[in-house]
Structure 1
Amino acid sequence: MKKLIALLSLVFIASGVYALDGKEIATSAHNVSKSKTTHSAVSMTLVDNNGKEDVRLLEEFGKKENDLSTTVMVFRSPASVKNTRFLKQENDGSADDKWIYLPALKRVRRIASSDGSKSFMGTDFTYDDMETRDVERDIHTLLKEEAVNGVDCYVVKAEAKDLNDSQYSYRVSWIRKDNFVPIKMELYDSNKELLKVMKVLDLQNIDGFWTPMEVVMENVQTEHKTILSIKKVEFDKGVNPKVFTQSYLSSGRI
């Protein structure tokens, strides 16, 4: 009897009975280990369909508290965007709160949910793209397993449970099997046509945290793309909590 049970167990494993499903994979990706604080210098390059580049430099701060993340971005150059500041605060079970300070207006503006599909600072990322999306908001389906640049990945399709809860008809992610970090994503528009492709060009393990050092988001319909490159990053070095406030957003001072 013991031999029979052992044999059946092997058969079940071989047949995929114990394989992860789409939701389990998405949950593992969402729960990838993150530091308590981050501080980084980032280069943002916008490339139009003629190859013309617009390079920006920004400073980014992040913290994680009670499993919820908060992020602040401060644009340092060029002059056209200098001192623009952005704050994103993750909420438990609901959409993130987002605010932006535009120097020309000299005031902080809350980003309404209706503005989620709008471009963030002229990039190929929308405000919703920058959101920490809760796993429960989508239906996750494992489509297949496939290698990307020699790395084995799960390919998972995500569709919003509420059709009004996403600007995309669906998203397809390539999630690494070894560390559950997404390294490629395809985003489809409301007509189910491919709109954008996100790729992680450089992924490094720094101080025990998997870090996308270079990411490109390309709009395949307009042939415009945005490249984010981390030039320097520190984990768990401590960040003044006053940075993560609307007061800092408006003044730039702690």
Structure 2
Amino acid sequence: MMKRAGLVVAASALLGGIGQAAEPVTNLGVDELVRKSNHMALYQGTDGRGRVSMLITDNQGRTRRREFTMLRRDVGDNDQDQSYFVLFNEPPDVRRMVFMVHKHAAPGREDDRWLYLPGLDLVKRIAASDKRTSFAGSDFLYEDISGRNITEDRHELLRTTDRHHVLKNTPRKPGSVEFAYYLAYLDKKSLMPVKLEFYKKPERLYRVIEVLRMEEIQARQGERRVVYPTVTRSVARNLDTGSRTEMVFSHIGYNGGLKEELFSERYLRKPPREALR
């Protein structure tokens, strides 16, 4: 059974890793490409954490900055449910704001999303209809952060180049999203999605998410030392508005033993120490 989309080149890729470097993957069917990309982008390691600096630039060159810490924890085995906790640190007007996701792999089941607004001392549930709206005023969307269920799209392998497998992903329910389809460029060696191109009808490219830099992050997996090539810089560009948002990732760690209780509503108002370090 297919699970959660591994075709998101944003913060989810940061906390997924892709394990030890491997030889190029060839001769796979489209479903297997999607499954392996899903695993590589989102499910390596049992948990992950990192700091993110996000620079938002509008079409006149004016900038705004957001800084936050993200925690990710897998729930169960076999690439199923996950939990995310995002704590904003800067600037002062968003400090202590929290975005939390309980991601559900089962087809047809919507994720649970919460937003804590400290200025109002208000916990707000984010409706499924809001998942394709701006994340903290950036060019990334809520769905970019927590992933898109691959059962929501039809997948087609368009071509294979020297560097990429190129997949076309068409929504099964066109009225539920603003795009007609998107192309995902998978790195042939790792199957990490390194570029997404979103199109509106008729064949109009309007949004791009792209990996700009990857680094190898060392971690422990039980008694074994592993290396996770990890996205450390990415960008989302809105071609309609001329704006762009760049994310830079640092202080990245894997397999830290994050507890399930950290991803509960009680910590929305009082973030755990793991998110404050």
Q: TM-score, normalised by structure 2?
A: 0.78
Residues 51-96 of structure 1: per-residue CA shift (max 9 Å, x gap): 2221221111111121322111100111011111000111122232
Provide the secondary structure at the position in 2 that maps to 1:133: coil
1:223: which partner in 2? 242
Provide the secondary structure at the position in 2 that maps to 1:31: helix
Equivalent AA in structure 1 for residue 71 of structure 2: F
Q: Which moved more, 1:172-181 or 1:235-244?
A: 235-244
Provide the secondary structure at the position in 2 that maps to 1:242: helix
Provide the secondary structure at the position in 2 that maps to 1:178: coil
- Decide whether the 8 Å contact of 2:195 with 2:208 is kept in 1: yes
Gapped runs of 5+ residues in structure 2? Answer: 1-25, 219-226
Query: What are the equivalent positions in structure 2 for 1:1-254 lying under 5 Å apart?
Result: 19-32=27-40, 33-66=43-76, 67-93=80-106, 94-147=109-162, 152-189=163-200, 192-207=203-218, 208-252=227-271
CA distance in 2: counterparts of 1:190 and 1:128, whole angstroms: 21
Q: Which moved more, 1:75-84 or 1:231-240?
A: 231-240
CA distance in 2: counterparts of 1:139 and 1:234, whole angstroms: 34
CA distance in 1: counterparts of 2:201 and 2:69, whole angstroms: 34
Shift in Å, 1:192: 4.4
Matched length: 233
Shift in Å, 1:104: 2.2
CA distance in 1: counterparts of 2:104 and 2:131, whole angstroms: 16
Equivalent AA in structure 2 for residue 206 of structure 1: I
CA distance in 1: counterparts of 2:250 and 2:39, whole angstroms: 25
Shift in Å, 1:191: 5.3
Residues 164-215 of structure 1: per-residue CA shift (max 9 Å, x gap): 3433211101001111100011012365421211110011232322311101
Residues 15-41 of structure 1: per-residue CA shift (max 9 Å, x gap): xxx932322211110021511111211
1:11: which partner in 2? none
CA distance in 1: counterparts of 2:149 and 2:32, whole angstroms: 13
- Decide whether the 8 Å contact of 1:186 with 1:197 is kept in 2: yes
- Decide whether the 8 Å contact of 2:111 with 2:128 is kept in 1: no
* Larger RCO (CA under 8 A, 6+ residues apart): 2
- Decide whether the 8 Å contact of 2:49 with 2:70 is kept in 1: yes
CA distance in 1: counterparts of 2:239 and 2:207, whole angstroms: 6
CA distance in 2: counterparts of 1:31 and 1:240, whole angstroms: 21
CA distance in 1: counterparts of 2:103 and 2:126, whole angstroms: 14
1:245/1:119 CA distance change after superposition, 3 Å: same
Provide the secondary structure at the position in 1 that maps to 2:161: strand
Q: What's the % identity of the aligned pairs? A: 26
RMSD value over aligned CA atoms? 1.8
1:190/1:101 CA distance change after superposition, 3 Å: farther
Shift in Å, 1:114: 1.4
Gapped runs of 5+ residues in structure 1? Answer: 1-17
Larger Rg: 1
4+ residue segments displaced more than 4 Å: none
Q: TM-score, normalised by structure 1?
A: 0.85
Shift in Å, 1:112: 0.4
